[in-house]
Amino acid sequence: MNSLSIKNLSKMYENGTQAINDVSLEITNGMFGLLGPNGAGKSTLMRTIAALQEPTSGIIEFNGINILENPMFIRENLGYLPQEFGVYPKISAYRLLDHLAILKGIVNKQERNHQILTLLQQTNLLQHKDKAVHSFSGGMRQRFGISQALLGNPKIIIVDEPTAGLDPEERNRFNNLLSEIGESIIVLLSTHIVEDVRDLCTKMAIISNGKLILEGNPNETIDLLKDKIWMKAIHKSELAEYQTHFNIISSHLNSGKLNIHVFSDQQPDSGFNLISPDLSDVYFSVLSNQLKK
């Protein structure tokens, strides 16, 4: 069993931006979802865990080893798919993986070949192994990114906003792949897409403005909102008035009407219906400060 322990981690940049503020997490094997809006500090936290930058204060331990003091330990055990994954132009998928495998220290040519073909098969890219990666679709490129992240049999994988921009079919295929991978190692999924965390993760945390504001099992956090989320369809022109009188946590258009979700211990007015909450309601409730850590 692998373990990642983050204790009182903070990161302040030279310009005074507090990107991470006293974050503590305990993570073991499986899929762990880190949710938060863009700019919340998720990518900074991922880069710090990956030993790509140093924190201002705090401790990170992986399998009992302090990785701030021993950054090579995490690098040797890590697979990383950053939000922006660049590729070399006009190089085939196989050749690029071979090059990256050498950089990861896999010097035996036979071993490299076996591992590369296995990974291309796992990511459903084997038939495209001789095609240039820069010609791949967005979903294919993300699956290639997972292939390179899995080189060297890492014990922890970090994926940063992996399904942003993918169409529904590619997103589903990519999520199935992540789910398979997460059975035996730690997979850290950093995203602002609530559905990905709901579908994949048994544990999650929500971060906003660099602070950890909720942590737990997705289903258990949903239970915290039982009998507290009310929905009503209104005209868009009425939104400002409703915002004045009710605690609206989210709104979305449906058939030309605006469905508003309100957090309340009792029925806001006779036009509201009590609904079963989902993880999106948890997310927006937390961001509107209704649920506390």
Same domain, 68 and 188: yes
Residue 115 has pLDDT above 80, yes or no: yes
Q: What string of DSSP letters covers 78-90?
A: EEEE-SS----TT
207 and 256 belong to one structural domain = no
Residues 239 and 209 in one domain: no
Taking residues 279-292, what's their average pLDDT?
82
Confidence bin at 87 (pLDDT 50/70/90)? low
Are 207 and 261 found together in one domain? no
The Cα 50–Cα 56 span in angstroms is 15
Domain boundary among 217, 240, 262: 217
Strand (E) positions, 91-164?
156-160
- Work out how many domains the chain is built from and give that number: 2
- Regarding whether 255 and 147 lie in a shared domain, the answer is no
Report the predicted TM-score, pTM, of the whole model to 2 decimal places: 0.86
Q: Is the pLDDT of residue 293 over 60?
A: no
**77 and 208 part of one domain:** yes
Domain that holds residue 62: 3-217
- pLDDT for 28-46, tens place per residue? 999 999 998 888 899 899 9
Same domain, 263 and 127: no
Buried b (16+ CB within 10 A) or exposed e, 66-104: ebbeeeebbeebbbbbbeebebeeeebbbbbbbebbeeb
Tokens 């003091």, residue located: 69
Residue 128 lies in a domain: yes
192-214 pLDDT tens trace: 889 889 888 999 999 999 999 99
Are 135 and 231 in a shared domain? no
Please report whether residue 285 resides in a domain.
no
Q: How far apart are CA 78 and CA 245, in angstroms?
A: 50
CATH number for the domain spanning 106: value is 3.40.50.300
